[in-house]
Structure 1
Amino acid sequence: MKRFLAGLLLALPTSSLLAQGSAAEYADDAFRYNDFVQQGSARFRGVGGNQVALGGDASNIAGNPAGLGFYNRSEITFSPSINLTSARSGFLGSTVDASKTNFNIGQLSLVFAGEPSRNSRWRRSSFGISYSQSLNFSSTSDAQGRNNNTNSTFLNEYIPGLNSGAPGSVKERALSDDFTVNTARTPEAALYGLFLVNPTVYGATSTNPNGTIDTNGSPFYRLDPTLPLNQRATSNQSGANSQWTFAYGSNFDDKLYLGISANISRIRYDSENTIREAPVNGQFDNYGRTNNLAVTGTGFGLTVGAIYRPVQSFQIGASASSPTFFSMKETFQQTFFAFGRSSQLVRDLTVNSVAVDPNDFNYSMTTPFRASGGFTYFLGGGKLGFLTATADYVGYGGMRIGTDAFNSTQSNTDFKNDVTSEVKNTYQNVVNVRAGAEIRANMFRIRGGVAYLPSAYRIDLDRVSADSRSRVLFSGGVGVRTDRFSFDLSGSYYNQKTGLSPYILSDSDTPTVSTTTQRVNAMASVGFFF
């Protein structure tokens, strides 16, 4: 039924169900899809992602919709973006670098400014529509090293389950029936077809030294179990959490600005993780496993906001975003591969790659509640620039995942409760703090900003401490603004530490890839007034 069902041997009295984390995996998914770092146009990114107490920018559509009340002219904007990632991964005492580049449309928006009112204190209203990326998943890592722990192999995720019953309780016939030329119903059957797990021979005779498929069976074993392994773990992700937003903002007496927006969000996430092992001077040249995960989701959410300007040079803002309620679908598939070194194994291997039947899983996801508050102080009445700061509350502890995919109501309830428990035990609510400034000289702008994003983790995970997962984002930018158009450039940088366990065994036998990733984003925003 999904990733956490690593293998289910059907039609056997001692069927083995090998768990790979289930609830913990889905708790991790909920965080991954909602770990927003920065959003908006180049203008707002240049000042550290601050936007709650600033108005008159297309970013207000997806940020604080109250800012649309500042518009007195309609505008169309386009913001192409580039993400550069550079990852350094430590694994088994070795270090490897990897990099990736991703081009995307960070934002595309249209604002229609209404006509000014002559007889009302409600001065003007504006409507906006935008496409924007809240989060880009582009990332990569590469790690390799020599593992001298002979118990540490991804094959040991499967062999103990095969051997959990009495000798001969799992028959070779069961695996053979689940294996065809290059496909298999279960991971265990794929490993059997590639000679990565081998049965014990029972009832061997001089005329039939290999026994029979109906008598051979557990305990299963792997070839060259005492040899160290050269291991390589690679990971590659792509996709984005993006949204179409429809927003309305209004201006009351040039002091109070109110707004509301609705978003239709879309998640597309693709992940490929490969673990490859090469026994030192063994019968296999190398073998391994590739896990492919493809996820899509559609959700709906609301945001309300307000900006108040008590005096000309100072304004405060606040916004609150409801959780987005997603309907998610994922497809998970494993492919196993093996290449022989010994002449006998090369002859025996009729195929080198076996794909396990893919599994689909549908579920619902509730994202964190978010709220922001901040202020902006204008220098020289706004002619010289401004200073701005924001505090963003993110309720990661409120993330939820549920499903009706299981056969019983109780199973669905247990799944939801298990994921909820994992979320509460692993993640905590945070307050992100941002500060930025813009200096103006006629039509020219210079910007700078910084943001501190504390760790959302309660616990150390994959041998990466919770505290070390906090991030500091630095940003800067320049811009030009005239009566007809605006042009802005921004650049931002931060690094983050993550961990990846390419397979899960006991703590002492599970190796961990520790990765420090440097992320650079550059964006250009072009706007035309009409």
Structure 2
Amino acid sequence: MKFKYILSVIAIVAFTQNTFAQYSQDAVRFSQTTTGTTSRVKAVGGAGTALGGDLSNVSGNPAGLGFFTRSEFSITPGYDNNKTEANYLNNKTTTTRNNFNLNNAAIVIYNQLTKPAGADKNKGWLSANYGVSFSRTNNFNQNIRYSGNGATSINSYFASQANQFGIDEGSLAGWAYDHNLIDAYALTPTTSEYRANNVSSTAQEAIYNRSGSQSSVDFSVGANYSNKLYLGFSLNFTDIKYNSFNTFYEDGNVSVIENNTPPPVTRAYSSAYSQNQVTTGTGFSAKVGVIYKPVEAVRLGATFTTPTFYNIDDVYYESLSSKVGSNTTNNSASPDYQLNYNLRTPLKLAGGAAVFIKHFGFITGDVEYVDYGTTHLSSNNNYNADRIDNPEIKGLYKSAVNARIGAEARVNSFFLLRGGYAIQGDVRKDNGSDIKTVSGGIGLRFGQYYVDGTYAHSSGNQNLFPYDIGASSPAAMLRNTSNNGYLTFGYRF
């Protein structure tokens, strides 16, 4: 495990006079988006690259717009239930978070191209259709809580910061020193190092509250050539809203010298280290897509998505509160640290196939390749991204393959049944896992109107480190599960 690369408590650590924010985890967090889709495509595992003729094509493969022969509109509200089971120092806890949202809304306008009198209406360019959609592409809403009794202390992390950066006034290490949580210990008559003042095991608890989302507005066009070749292009404008408030609590005993009078005495202490982050940003990308029908029953699709170029504003502050013995409580807090930076996410390549079995339904699948190690932060006058963050991205993250498969069965002209399975490849080189999703749904058709409902269950594992003290760093082993419901209401006109 590359402990030396693990960040403290959340994806951002102390940003004070002597330390600096690290944004590598946020950069990859904001790169892990999914394509906005209707309930129908969600039910088949999200495998929509080769389907065509679904409103998901506005944000997915724009070539699929060429399949439309009528205009269409749909709206898809969603419900998310996120549960996190944590095992920390052999103690298990569970937290949940629920929220409703607008997951997708899209419209396609059918535009048949005029042809000369007497021309074959099934040859050449037949239509150029236009679409606009709103999609929720990332969900940050999550509560995490873990606790336990351990042999290590966050004070050792504060001491390592002091040894690395000093204890200047206003720094995190300076606060810990002023609060008597750490002190300088002599190594030789002329040298010393900072160490935690702990003399016993500690009781620890961490609480994380995260909220926000990423969303995308897509403008797409797709054309149909001879009912065989379909081409599409889209422009995507994205938005980030991410809030994180986390507090790490610790109780234990420390050895301190009171009133500058030796010898040291042992006193109980309690501390709370809090971090707050508010991040907003906007970005843009482009996508080109193609679908080809070698025979009527088979569709082959592919998309290329450019990197998304973001401009991001980040506001961060931290605080440390502690009480040692019967002394009054010490409270230290930083001002708001603000930074504006640019982020480039990885490009994406996807390919898929769909096989239609007459009027009975279809089977579809696709794969997507994303190299998260190419995520890049740009330096500016206030921020050197190449000092730690960009090397961390290359050291911690890797390429991933996302695979999706699903099927739809038409039971009759009114009722459809769907199911799917997807694997989102693990982006971490260590301390993570693939995210696996099982989905199922139904579709109801009422002439020009339709309703689709989908349930999806996702799960994955992750190790979270509350603080970094090298090989002794404790880890919270998290099991994240999501139970999501989607309901699409559509109208063809």
Mapped contact 2:214–2:238 kept (Cα < 8 A): yes
Structure 2 residue 356 is matched with structure 1 residue 378:
yes
Give the TM-score of the pair, scaled to structure 2: 0.86
Matches of 2:37 and 2:137 in 1, distance apart?
A: 8
Any gaps of 5 or more consecutive residues in structure 1? 9-16, 176-184, 201-217
Other-structure match for 1:488: 452
Matches of 2:425 and 2:141 in 1, distance apart?
A: 22
Residues 222 and 427 of structure 1: CA distance in aligned 2, closer, same or farther (over 3 Å): closer
Question: Counterpart amino acid of 2:53?
Answer: G
Matches of 2:305 and 2:212 in 1, distance apart?
A: 23
CA deviations 1:143-202 (Å, max 9, x no partner) are 10011x2xx22223333554679xxx97xxx64xxxxxxxxx4334544665545799xx
CA deviations 1:44-64 (Å, max 9, x no partner) are 000000111011211111100
Other-structure match for 1:94: 91
Matches of 1:219 and 1:389 in 2, distance apart?
A: 58
Question: Counterpart amino acid of 2:292?
Answer: Y
Question: Counterpart amino acid of 1:396?
Answer: Y
Pick aligned residue for 1:451 from 422, 443, 451: 422
Residues 69 and 476 of structure 1: CA distance in aligned 2, closer, same or farther (over 3 Å): same
Structure 2 residue 402 is matched with structure 1 residue 435:
no
TM-fit CA distance, 1:334: 0.6
TM-fit CA distance, 1:315: 1.1
Residues 67 and 117 of structure 1: CA distance in aligned 2, closer, same or farther (over 3 Å): same
Pick aligned residue for 2:135 from 132, 135, 151: 132
Other-structure match for 2:369: 393
TM-fit CA distance, 1:511: 1.2
Percent pairwise identity = 28
Other-structure match for 1:511: 474
Mapped contact 1:361–1:405 kept (Cα < 8 A): no
CA deviations 1:111-132 (Å, max 9, x no partner) are 2111353436211121111110
Question: Counterpart amino acid of 1:257?
Answer: Y
Structure 2 residue 334 is matched with structure 1 residue 356:
yes
Matches of 2:347 and 2:483 in 1, distance apart?
A: 27
CA deviations 1:67-92 (Å, max 9, x no partner) are 11111222221111111111110111
Structure 2 residue 156 is matched with structure 1 residue 156:
yes
Other-structure match for 1:206: none
Residues 302 and 417 of structure 1: CA distance in aligned 2, closer, same or farther (over 3 Å): farther
Residues 284 and 326 of structure 1: CA distance in aligned 2, closer, same or farther (over 3 Å): same
Other-structure match for 2:295: 311
Other-structure match for 2:391: 421
Mapped contact 2:290–2:303 kept (Cα < 8 A): yes
CA deviations 1:327-359 (Å, max 9, x no partner) are 11111111222356x4x32xx33xx64321121
Matches of 2:158 and 2:447 in 1, distance apart?
A: 67
Aligned counterparts, 1:74-93, within 5 A: 74-93=71-90
CA deviations 1:239-296 (Å, max 9, x no partner) are 1111111001111111111110001111111112211001269845631111111111
Aligned counterparts, 1:169-248, within 5 A: 175=169, 185-191=170-176, 196=181, 225-248=198-221
Matches of 1:164 and 1:378 in 2, distance apart?
A: 63
Mapped contact 2:16–2:334 kept (Cα < 8 A): no
Farther off after superposition, 496-505 or 45-54: 496-505
SS class of match (2:426)? coil
Other-structure match for 2:486: 523
Residues 417 and 494 of structure 1: CA distance in aligned 2, closer, same or farther (over 3 Å): same
TM-fit CA distance, 1:452: 2.3
Instruction: Give the length in aligned residue pairs.
Output: 459
TM-fit CA distance, 1:3: 4.4
Matches of 2:423 and 2:72 in 1, distance apart?
A: 32
Structure 2 residue 266 is matched with structure 1 residue 263:
no
Structure 2 residue 373 is matched with structure 1 residue 403:
no
Mapped contact 1:362–1:405 kept (Cα < 8 A): no
SS class of match (2:223)? strand
Q: Higher strand proportion, which one?
A: 2
Matches of 1:429 and 1:196 in 2, distance apart?
A: 41
Give the TM-score of the pair, scaled to structure 1: 0.80
Other-structure match for 1:71: 68
Matches of 1:256 and 1:160 in 2, distance apart?
A: 61
CA deviations 1:453-509 (Å, max 9, x no partner) are 332223x2xxx3x5xx1222111110112331111111111211111111111222x
Matches of 2:236 and 2:455 in 1, distance apart?
A: 26
SS class of match (1:158)? helix
Matches of 1:353 and 1:432 in 2, distance apart?
A: 46
Residues 507 and 514 of structure 1: CA distance in aligned 2, closer, same or farther (over 3 Å): same
Any gaps of 5 or more consecutive residues in structure 2? 1-10, 186-191, 255-265
Residues 400 and 494 of structure 1: CA distance in aligned 2, closer, same or farther (over 3 Å): same
Superposed CA RMSD: 2.6
